Amino acid sequence: MAKTAKKAIPENRDIEKTPKIPQPDYQRREFLHLLETVEIIVSKVLSLAMVVVIGVSIWNLGVFTITSLFTADIKSYYKVLFQVFGLFLNVLIALEILENISGYLKKQVIQVELVIVTSLIAVARKIIILDLDKADGIDIIGLGIAVLALSISYWIVRSQNRKE
């Protein structure tokens, strides 16, 4: 009788030990390039959306200023004035956000200093339009802590940026 040769069938443990085939470098670069392209497109769309938001905010500010500020009686004048200040700060915050987006598009880096400044403006806006008659003490303490924390953060980031 003739003997038939048996081929060695690898066991499961041999298959598990098989090294994984590394992904070619060009595929990783192509994928990262695709991600960067998507980030740039999204940033540009956000920039255009912020331009629209800023335009509408300026329009609303102008309409509100003309209709409310010049027609308000003396009793409600200060309330209307603070509303106008709040709308001005809304436009400034939107401009800062647009600057954040355009800075990212230019350098591909989120500028922490600019983000902190934007946050400080937002907290300042909240403080300016805050109705002290209706505000709780805890709200005022919270805003004070936020200003303090953001100020310290800004100082740290600014001093680090100067060293570099």
Task: Look up residue 34 and give its amino acid.
Answer: L
pLDDT per position as a tens digit, 122-143: 998 888 888 888 888 898 999 9
Alpha carbon distance 53, 152 (integer Å): 30
Do 69 and 18 meet the contact criterion of CB atoms below 8 Å apart?
A: no
Looking at residue 163, its pLDDT comes to: 81
Say what the pTM is.
Answer: 0.67
